[in-house]
Amino acid sequence: MAKKIEFPNGRTWLTQQAALDHFKSMLHRYANGAVVDDREDHDDLLGLLQRYDEAITDGPSKIGAGVDCFMRRLNVREGHYASPGFWVRRTDGTETDFSYIDAVKGQPKGRSKEFYDACRAAVQADLLAAKERHFELHGDAGGKVPCELTNRPIAFAEAHLDHAWPTFNQLVVAFRAARGWGRNIPDGVLTPSADGQIHTLFADPASAEAFRQYHHQAAVLRVVDRAANLSMASKQRVPKIKRPVALN
């Protein structure tokens, strides 16, 4: 039976080979020494690194203090053999390589996806309120606001509230690292499975509030057209925002 590959941010591949091909193609798109500057590629690699840390526990965490950026570098082995690979630069300035093949083929526990869902639930009401407030403040006579990507006026139902940078998954990973949960999420942090529970939540309201405050301070939001080609949004890892959506 084919092994489905799923990342915490919802990215999926139906087979292990499809995921391997995706990251192989990504690696070949960048030159040696280049920073991964496509936002979608960065977020995919971030999900890959979360998978790596969950699946491969016989060494230090690859995420460590948190992720600043990813790069392609030439790895030299035994003084003469060289092959390209991904490297991560952490927020504390340290760097390390990692194998996308090992990460894809590893078998994670799946706690990263549950943690991501708990973080999303913690800020869902804030996001909805911010979107509503943005349309109230900036809507034209027809109640529409400009899409950040196309500048075309869009209605509330057409709009997607996008985390421009950091991405939502980047915020989740940084929060985990700050709490010391980069490698493992301790028992008791998340709610256990229960009847009627659609999403995992934080067991302690204080943890949910801590992420909510962290998100409030760090998130940069924008309104984009749901029907727009979101690949337009990924061409800049840190895009410039004309009309940021305020959370307060």
The class (CATH top level) of 5-105 is: alpha beta
Alpha-carbon distance of 10 to 12, in angstroms, equals: 6
27 vs 197: which has the higher pLDDT: 27
pLDDT tens-digit profile of 129-156? 999 999 999 999 999 999 998 899 999 9
DSSP, collapsed to helix, strand or coil, labels residue 92 as: coil
pLDDT tens-digit profile of 15-35? 999 999 999 999 999 999 999
**Whether pLDDT at 195 is above 70:** no
DSSP, collapsed to helix, strand or coil, labels residue 160 as: strand
Q: Which residues, at least 6 apart from 15, have a Cβ–Cβ distance to it below 8 Å? A: 2, 3, 4, 5
Q: How far apart are the first and last CA of the chain?
A: 48
The mean pLDDT of 87-102, rounded to a whole number, is 94
Identify the weakest region by mean pLDDT among 164-173, 186-195, 206-215, 216-225: 186-195
**Whether pLDDT at 194 is above 70:** no
Assess contact for 42 and 237: CB atoms under 8 A.
Answer: yes
The mean pLDDT of 192-196, rounded to a whole number, is 61
Domain boundaries, the chain: 5-105, 111-234
Average pLDDT, the chain: 89
pLDDT tens-digit profile of 74-86? 887 655 567 899 9
pLDDT confidence band for 57 (50 / 70 / 90): confident
Identify the weakest region by mean pLDDT among 22-31, 109-118, 218-227, 235-244: 235-244
